[in-house]
Structure 1
Amino acid sequence: MAYVPEQSRYQKMPYRHAGHSGLKLPAMSLGLWHNFGDDVPLQRQRDIIHRAFDLGITHFDLANNYGPPFGSAELNFGQHFARDLRPFRDELVIATKAGYDMWSGPYGSGGSRKHVMASLDQSLMRMGLDHVDIFYSHRVDVDTPLEETMDALVATHRSGKARYVGISSYSPERTREAARLLSGAGVPLLVHQASYSMFNRWIEDSLLDTLADVGAGCVGFSPLGQGLLTDRYLAGIPEGSRAAQGKSLNPGLLHEEMLDRIRGLNDIAAGRGQTLAQLALAWALRDDRMTSLVLGASSVEQLEQNVRALDRLDFTSDELDAIDGLAVESGINLWKRSSEA
C-alpha cells in the first residue's frame, strides 16, 4: 500500500531559518545514528520515518558510517526513500557526513579531499540520490589542512551533489576559520552540528556567538544526553540501557550526585506537565540561534512523546534559574577532543 502522508503535517511543526540562509529546518529533526541499521527491523524503521514526516519532520540526518554495520543506515534509508518518499523529494532535507572511520586503508576516514569526495559519492549511491541537501565535514582532522577539507566541501557544492555544506564538532575558532574559507570561495557555511544538552553546554561559551557572527545556524545532537535526560535512569541503571551495555554512555557517570540532578530536573518537568525528555528538548530550543534538534527514536511512540515537547516551549525566569542549578557540565561530551583539536 502506497504511503500517503498526513495533509496537516506542516501545521504541526515550527520551522526555523538556518542562520542567515533562506533554508528553514523543522525545530526537531530525525537522526538515523541509532535504530536504522541492520539490527532493527525494516518495518519498524519505516513506521518511524512515516510518522516523522506526518509530524512535519522534513529533515533526516545521516552519516556515512551510521549503522551497524557502517553504511547500513544509508542503505536502509535508500530503501525507504525509493518505496515511500521519492514523490516528496523536494519537501525533504536529507543530510549526510564524512570524516569518521568508514572503510579500510588510509583513505577511509579524515578530512582529505580524497576521503570527503569519495565518501559523498558512496553515500549518494547507497541512498539512491543524485544530491543531498546538506553535506558535513563530520569532524576536525588535524592531519589535513583545514583549507583542503573546506575545498572538498566547496567542490561537492559546485558539483551539485550538495545543496549546502556544514561542519560538526568544530571549536569556535576553527568554525570561524572554516566559515572564512568557505565564504572566500563563494559557498556559505549553512550550519554547525554540535552536541548540546543540559549536561553538555559547551556551545554556550562562544560557539553560538561565533555562529551568529558568521551567519550559520546550529543543529544540536544528543539533546537528551545519551539518554540521561529521560526517565530511564531515575532509579539507577536498567538492564538493556546504553549505560548497561557500555555503548555511548559511561555507567560511571550515574553516581548519586548525577542521579540527584536528574531527579531534580524530573521534578521541574513534572511541575510543567512534561516528561523529563520533553523538558530537556524544550530547554535546548529556548535560544533562537538553535535551528533544530536531532532526535533519535526507537519507536513511533517515543518519537511522538518527544515531539510533544513543542507544546510547551516557554520558561519562566524561576524555572530557568532552577534548571541552571542542576544542568551542569557532566563529562558526557564524546566529541570534545574533536571540537578542541
Structure 2
Amino acid sequence: MVYTANEKRYDSMTYNRSGRSGLLLPALSLGLWHNFGGVDKYENGRAMVRHAFDLGITHFDLANNYGPPAGSAEENFGRILSQDMAPYRDEMIISTKAGYYMWQGPYGEWGSRKYLVSSLDQSLKRMGLDYVDIFYHHRPDPNTPLEETMGALDAIVRSGKALYVGISNYSAEQTAEASAILKRLGTPCLIHQPSYSMLNRWIEDGLQDVLDQEGIGSIVFSPLAGGVLTDRYLGGVPADSRAGGASVFLQSNDLTEAKMAKVRKLNEYAQERGQTLAQMALAWVVRGGRVTSALIGASRVSQIDDNVAALNNLAFTEEELRRIENVLALPN
C-alpha cells in the first residue's frame, strides 16, 4: 500500500528557530540511534518513521555508526525514504554525523578532513541521497587542529553535500572556538547536539550561554536519561529493560536508591500536572526556548504518541519549577 502522509501533520506540532538561522525544527525530533539497525525489525522502524512524520516530526537524526551493525540505520532509513518518503524529501530535515569509530585504519574515526569527507560520501550512498540537511562533527578530536575539522565542514557545505553543519559533544570553550572559525570561513555553525536532561544538566554551566551569544541552536539527546525519566524503572529493573541487559549506556548499578527516590518524587509531580514522567521530562527540557529540539527515541509507534503528547503542556508555574529544583538538588 502506498504511503500518503497525514494532511494535518503540521497543525499541532511546535516548530522552533535554530539559533539565528532561517531553519525551523520541530520541538521533538526522531533519533535513530537505537531500534533502527540491521538487528531490529525493519517494518517496525518503517512504521515509526512514517508515524512520526504524520505527527509533524520533520527531523530525523542519524550517524554513520548507528545500528548495529554500524551503517545499518542509514541503510534502513534509505530504504524507508525510497519506499515511502521520497515525495516528501523537501519537507524533511535529515541529519547525520561522523566522529566515532567507523572503519579500520588511521582514517576511520575522529576529525580529519579525510575521514569526514569519506564518511559523508558513504552515508549519502547508504541513504540514497545527494545531500543531507545537517552534517555534524560527532565529537571533538584532541589531535586534529580544529581549523582542519571546521574547514572540512565548510568545504562539505560548499560542495553541496550538506546544507548546514553542526557539532556534538563539544564543551563551551570548544564550541566558541569552533563557531569563530566557521564564521570566518563563511559557514556558520547551525546547531549543537549535547546530552541534556533533568538528571544531566552540564550544558547549563556555560554552554547554553555560548550558544545564545553565537546564535547557535541546540538539539539535545538523552532527554529521558536513557529511560530513567520514565515509568520503566519505578518498581525496579525489568529483566527485558536496557538496565536489565548488557547495555553500556545504562546499567542497573546506575539506578541507586537515592536517584530512584528522586525519580519517584518527580513522577508524583508529573501526575499532578496530568502528564507521564516522560512527558514532564521532555516538557522541562524544551521549556523557555533555550533548547531548539529534543531527540526522542522509540521502540514502538505508541511511544512516539506518548512523547509528542508532552507538547500539550509545556508551561510550568514558578512553584512547579521550585519543587522540581528542590528534588533535583538532592544527592544521588
Distance in 1 (CA, whole Å) between partners of 2:251 and 2:110 is: 26
Distance in 2 (CA, whole Å) between partners of 1:14 and 1:330 is: 34
Q: Map of 1:74-153 to 2, 5 A cutoff?
A: 74-153=74-153
Distance in 2 (CA, whole Å) between partners of 1:231 and 1:170 is: 31
Distance in 2 (CA, whole Å) between partners of 1:324 and 1:191 is: 27
* CA distances 1:83-119 after superposition (whole Å, capped 9, x unpaired): 1111111000000000001111111100011101100
* Runs of 4+ with >6 A deviation: none
TM-score (norm. length: structure 1): 0.96
| Residue aligning to 2:59 | 59
Residue identity matched to 1:265? L
Q: Map of 1:1-341 to 2, 5 A cutoff?
A: 1-247=1-247, 248-328=249-329
Residue identity matched to 2:325? D
For the Cα contact (< 8 Å) 1:282–1:312, is it kept in 2?
yes
Residue identity matched to 2:283? A
Q: Secondary structure of 1:262's match?
A: helix
Offset at residue 329 of structure 1 (A): 9.3
TM-score (norm. length: structure 2): 0.98
Q: Secondary structure of 1:290's match?
A: coil
For the Cα contact (< 8 Å) 2:219–2:293, is it kept in 1?
yes
CA RMSD of aligned residues (A): 1.1
For the Cα contact (< 8 Å) 1:200–1:329, is it kept in 2?
no
Distance in 2 (CA, whole Å) between partners of 1:83 and 1:41 is: 16
Unaligned runs of 5+ in 2: none
For the Cα contact (< 8 Å) 2:60–2:93, is it kept in 1?
yes
Q: Secondary structure of 1:111's match?
A: coil
Q: Secondary structure of 2:60's match?
A: strand
- Percent same amino acid at aligned positions? 57
Q: Secondary structure of 1:218's match?
A: strand
Q: Secondary structure of 1:297's match?
A: coil
For the Cα contact (< 8 Å) 1:201–1:329, is it kept in 2?
no
Distance in 2 (CA, whole Å) between partners of 1:287 and 1:329 is: 23
Stretch deviating more after TM superposition (317-326 or 293-302): 317-326
* CA distances 1:284-303 after superposition (whole Å, capped 9, x unpaired): 01131210001001000011
Distance in 2 (CA, whole Å) between partners of 1:242 and 1:217 is: 30
Residue identity matched to 1:103? W
For the Cα contact (< 8 Å) 2:262–2:330, is it kept in 1?
no
Distance in 2 (CA, whole Å) between partners of 1:246 and 1:279 is: 28
Distance in 2 (CA, whole Å) between partners of 1:285 and 1:146 is: 30
Offset at residue 326 of structure 1 (A): 2.1
Distance in 2 (CA, whole Å) between partners of 1:252 and 1:323 is: 24
* CA distances 1:8-60 after superposition (whole Å, capped 9, x unpaired): 00012010000000000000000000010012111111110110000000000
Unaligned runs of 5+ in 1: 332-341
For the Cα contact (< 8 Å) 2:133–2:162, is it kept in 1?
yes
* CA distances 1:246-300 after superposition (whole Å, capped 9, x unpaired): 3111321211101100100000000000000000000001131210001001000
Residue identity matched to 2:41? P
Change (3 A) 1:202 1:38: same
